[in-house]
Structure 1
Amino acid sequence: MNLVVPALVAGAVTLVLSVLLPIVVKPLLQRLGIMDVPNERSSHARPVLRGLGLAVLISMLVGGAVAVLWFALAAEPVVRWEALLVVVVGSLAAGLLGLGEDLRGISVKARSILLLLIALLVPVGLLLVRADPLHVRDLTFELPPPAPLSLPEALPVGASILLVAYAVLFISSYINVANFMDGLNGISGFHGVIAGLTFAAAGWLDAQPWLIAAGLVLAAGFGGFLPWNLTKPGAFLGDVGSYLLGGATAITSFAAWLSGLPLLATIGPMVIYFGDVGVTLVKRVRAGHRWDEPHKEHAYQRIQQLGYSHVAASGITALCTLAASILGLISLYTGPWGTAALLAGGLAIVVFYTLLPRLLPARHARVAR
């Protein structure tokens, strides 16, 4: 059995649904009156329909289920369909939390508790289903073996507890980060496509079919949303979409690391987002501002304020994310010194990105969408 086929089919199903489902979902959102009204954080000037991430959520759920069922029914011992199942369920839970916020609003305390619960249960589930890292060489054609940088097969209890604690912080933080960064047309769609394709490439290079499927479903889900986001009258993901993006990306990243991929290969798509949010929060705290107040001080927002269109500013962020992702993938084939050099290169990209609002020339002001 060619183990790439289920991943490709799952990606194709997700893409078709993500493109078509908004036809049904948009009228529902309009009847519910779910609109994004401009505020201090917004980069748009008029109310825009939000919540279209629900269509992405449904499409990714169906596509992910197709891959899980196909891998499970194939009964191939080398396919870790259980890990893919945890990724799909965890991503669904994150998206549903965001949907609750879109529809009715959730108190900060309740949202935080639910977010931490998701971030706790996911790594526990992944550790329970964890098996040997996969190295299947019959996917499409033979590939050179990557650098052997993986966690040991059997983890002590103490190490497992530390991993879960790290995952709780990592996953919950990135869901919030993705929500903070969802402020321009195209930015989240581009991010989902790049992150998904990076994970799929890593899965292909390391011969892990489940990761190919997880990556293609993520890329297809947010790729199908882009035409609806970028064409008039436009529509936003809403919290359902941004929570889904952050959850799916972080959960897939952690699962890939547990499966034996080098850390840099799993976090490459995430460093620009983490860098933008981290630097911005530090600057605000040092200036005496409340970190949780609405604002427009992220690097991507400041680039747009220079007069660049939403697509241009989002594209700049996406290009930096792509560059960091490529460096991460190269770490599959490097030793310690090469990995250190790639880490330095990734940090340099983050620094360059955060300085872009100062380096880029200003353009004539344009009216925000």
Structure 2
Amino acid sequence: MILVLLVVLLLSGALPGLLRPLLLRRGVIDVPNARSSHARPAVRGMGLAPWAAVVVGMVLALLTGAVRVDRGVTVIVLLVTCAAAVLGWVEDVRGVSVRARATTQLVIGLAGTTALALALGQSGWWIPAGALAIAAYINVANFMDGINGISGLHGVTVGLFYALAGQLSGQGWLTVSALVLAAAFAAFLPWNLAGGRGSGPVFLGDVGSYLLGGSIAAMAAAGFLAGVYVEYLLSPLVIYLADTAFTWFRRVRAGARWYAPHREHVYQRLTDAGLSHLGSAAVVTGCTVAVGLLGTVAAQGTLATSISATLAGAVVVVGYLASPAVARRLRRRATDGSRR
């Protein structure tokens, strides 16, 4: 397994340097719009690097025996991940209509969940829910990919939590798949966090965010059907889900077109309040770690412990949603104090 992870780290860390000039020549450029948190065009589509690393890593894990049980489940998770990444790449290069994109995401979710239900001997009643969940989280990961570092940190964080869930649940395929995902996004982080320096920023693009959302959703669906505690699977995703749902609610309530580009997510409003990209991504990641740990405690503890951990997790979520207002207030106080 160590060899597999080293290969993944090497590929995901080295490929961006080779891909950047190729993507520049193809004109795969991210032009700032109403949703953007950057001010100048940048190369996108660099999610090809972690995608290649994930594919090679999972194939190596299967060939070397790192995954010995539920190998079919591992293959299905990888196929769902690749299907999502392909859709993202088409979006990066040519663009896809909202209807075609949503339809394709649902087809990916439907095919993936059906295959998982058959492989794990589960009822077909779960298939519609799984299809919707996979399609939804692909979009959630895409919506949340708006500042440097946030998606890379999310991939690392969720990957490590899912690897722990696999260990605690006796699901070796989940541990291996999650570690490969975490390694791939960890190696890409330096490229993304160095955005704006040297040769300029590079972004995952839709291929990278769809890769992230598809892989996490596929692992979560497979883990749920395999009997992994839902707390293990859901808690590391709560902050992303809460941010997306809260932002959607605010926009609908204000009468805005919820599907139009915008920069009203909590993490984006944190940057508007004065935090750097890394600072905002760190807030998201810190809250994700806190809720993930509390979810793990809730799954393993007594009833009283579980209730306490769940309530504490809810407090973290509320605190995160309120963090832009807190950051603005602190900034005003600091500004007022410096004028005196």
What TM-score do the two structures reach when normalised by structure 2? 0.92
Q: Answer yes or no: is 1:37 the counterpart of 2:31.
A: yes
Q: CA deviation at 1:161?
A: 3.1
Match of 1:193 in 2: 156
Match of 1:112 among 97, 102, 121: 102
| Unaligned residue ranges in structure 1 (runs of 5+) | 1-5, 131-153
**How far apart, in 2, do the equivalents of 1:339 and 1:256 lie?**
21
Q: Answer yes or no: is 1:66 the counterpart of 2:60.
A: yes
On the 8 A contact 1:265/1:330 being kept in 2, the answer is: no
1:132-167 deviations in Å (ceiling 9; x for gaps): xxxxxxxxxxxxxxxxxxxxxx64xxxx23311111
Q: Answer yes or no: is 1:162 the counterpart of 2:125.
A: yes
On the 8 A contact 2:298/2:307 being kept in 1, the answer is: no
On the 8 A contact 2:80/2:108 being kept in 1, the answer is: yes
What secondary structure sits across from 1:290 in the alignment? Answer: coil
Match of 1:139 in 2: none
**Counterpart code for 2:278:** V
Match of 1:245 among 198, 207, 212: 212
| Unaligned residue ranges in structure 2 (runs of 5+) | 336-340
**How far apart, in 1, do the equivalents of 2:106 and 2:83 lie?**
12
On the 8 A contact 1:265/1:331 being kept in 2, the answer is: no
Match of 1:174 among 123, 128, 137: 137
Correspondence 1:116-155 to 2 at 5 A: 116-130=106-120, 155=122
For the aligned residues, what is the CA RMSD? 1.8
Match of 1:316 in 2: 283
Match of 1:25 in 2: 19
On the 8 A contact 2:298/2:310 being kept in 1, the answer is: no
Q: Answer yes or no: is 1:103 the counterpart of 2:90.
A: no
**How far apart, in 2, do the equivalents of 1:27 and 1:335 lie?**
55
**How far apart, in 1, do the equivalents of 2:292 and 2:100 lie?**
34
1:268-296 deviations in Å (ceiling 9; x for gaps): 11110000010011011111111011111
What secondary structure sits across from 1:29 in the alignment? Answer: helix
**Counterpart code for 1:316:** V
On the 8 A contact 2:297/2:305 being kept in 1, the answer is: no
1:65-93 deviations in Å (ceiling 9; x for gaps): 11122338x8x5xx111111111111111
Match of 1:290 in 2: 257
Q: CA deviation at 1:334?
A: 2.4
Match of 1:137 in 2: none
Identity %: 44
What TM-score do the two structures reach when normalised by structure 1? 0.85
Match of 2:338 in 1: none
**How far apart, in 2, do the equivalents of 1:169 and 1:345 lie?**
28
**How far apart, in 2, do the equivalents of 1:245 and 1:22 lie?**
17
Match of 1:46 among 40, 46, 53: 40
How many equivalent residue pairs?
328
**Counterpart code for 1:348:** V
Match of 1:85 among 69, 75, 87: 75
Match of 1:206 among 139, 147, 169: 169
Match of 2:315 among 348, 352, 357: 348
Q: CA deviation at 1:336?
A: 4.5
On the 8 A contact 1:10/1:216 being kept in 2, the answer is: no
Match of 1:133 in 2: none
Q: CA deviation at 1:322?
A: 0.9
Q: Answer yes or no: is 1:306 the counterpart of 2:273.
A: yes
On the 8 A contact 2:92/2:207 being kept in 1, the answer is: yes
Match of 1:228 in 2: 191
**How far apart, in 1, do the equivalents of 2:318 and 2:18 lie?**
42
Distance of aligned partners of 1:128 and 1:70 in 2 relative to their CA distance in 1, 3 Å threshold:
farther
Match of 2:181 in 1: 218
On the 8 A contact 2:151/2:209 being kept in 1, the answer is: yes
**How far apart, in 2, do the equivalents of 1:23 and 1:271 lie?**
34
**How far apart, in 2, do the equivalents of 1:206 and 1:12 lie?**
25
Match of 1:56 among 47, 50, 54: 50
Q: Which has the higher contact order (CA 8 A, sep 6+)?
A: 1
Match of 1:134 in 2: none
**How far apart, in 2, do the equivalents of 1:92 and 1:259 lie?**
21
**Counterpart code for 1:362:** R
From the two aligned structures, give the one with the greater helix fraction.
2
1:160-183 deviations in Å (ceiling 9; x for gaps): 233111111111111101111000
